[in-house]
Amino acid sequence: MKVNVSFARGLLFGTAALGMLAGSSLAASAEEVLNIYTTREPGLIKPVLDEFTKETGIRVNTIFIANGLEERIRAEGQNSPADLIITVDIGRLAAAKDYGVTQPVKSEALEKVIPAAYRDPEGHWFGIALRGRVVYASKERVKQDKITYEELADPKWKGKVCIRSGQHLYNISLIAAMIAHKGEAKAEEWLKGVKANLAKKPSGGDREQAKDILAGVCDVAIGNTYYVSLMLNGTDPEQKKWGEAINVILPTFEGGGTHVNVSGLALTKNAPNKANAVKFMEYMVSDASQEIHAEANSEYPIKAGIKVHPTIASFGELKADNIPIAEIAKLRKKASELVDKVGFDQ
């Protein structure tokens, strides 16, 4: 993903600002500041941050860190200015907990809104939105409107499946969910079957899979729901064509539902502005915040009864799988090992 010069300068400025903040007395005493480290593109969370500041008067500083977020916080130790982590995928949330850079939060407001399946049992992280791992299907060449994840290994799809790297965190979570449903041996056979059906070596991102479907390289692909909205509603005319070439099918596991992952947040271990951080966490499950976040990110709200983005709603009713994502997180290492064992990316 390209980063323009002005954006890069903004990140450098933000980093410097937080550095000065960490070294000042304000870092320990200010009650109207919140420092967030995030892997999310700033534009995707800015609408929520602006509304939070408007409502509470708390100024929010954000640092965008594409990779190594938890390592950076651990390296900063007790002097870290970070109060809160905002990131995507259970793998990153679990990694932050495993690295020892988070602390548990006990909040009735969070527990009341967020289903237990989408938060850490010990309170170290909380999901604030859902994204489905779904099937992109050619409008021209695929007529069925239902499919299971298991069916992607059916020989009828030989030479017709596209997917990004099996080691990408989104696919690792899906494979881990398959292990949770079927056991490691059957998940391995499934992965072998999907590999045998690939039209090309796994590559690119989720949007590129839609591009390949338009080009006739494959008929079906695996991707996240929100990318389709970004393609259809963005400003890039080429990507709009990719989005228009596909239908989204919400697949299910046999006997289960559609695999979902989360966007989530966690309170840092040494948060200097803990009260403000918890206040923000609770704000994120308010009706207003959930609506703003769902619209800005094209994700499913974690809170029941909140309007879903129109493009996402057009895919049909989401019947999310019921295996807690914390259980899926425990199987990610095995999933990664299976990807290598079957030579999925080779």
Q: Which residues are annotated as a binding site for Fe cation?
A: 226-227
289, burial (CB in 10 Å: exposed 0-12, middle 13-18, buried 19+)? buried
Cβ-proximal residues to 195 (8 Å cutoff; 6+ apart), any chain = 342, 343, 344
C-alpha distances out from residue 286 to 11, 38, 291, Å: 29, 20, 9
Backbone φ/ψ region at 286: left (φ over 0), alpha (ψ -120 to 50), beta: beta
DSSP codes, 77-100: GGG----EEEEESHHHHHHHHHTT
Residue type, 84: L
Q: How far apart are CA 81 and CA 97, in angstroms?
A: 18
DSSP codes, 160-176: -EE-S-TTSHHHHHHHH
Q: How far apart are CA 219 and CA 235, in angstroms?
A: 25
Q: What are phi and psi of 300, to 5 degrees?
A: -80, 130
- What count of Cα atoms within 13 Å lies in the side-chain half-sphere of residue 236? 12
Annotated binding site: 226-227
68, burial (CB in 10 Å: exposed 0-12, middle 13-18, buried 19+)? exposed
Q: How far apart are CA 260 and CA 324, in angstroms?
A: 10
Q: How far apart are CA 131 and CA 263, in angstroms?
A: 8
H or E element in which residue 122 lies: none
Record the tokens describing residue 108, joined without a space.
């009735």
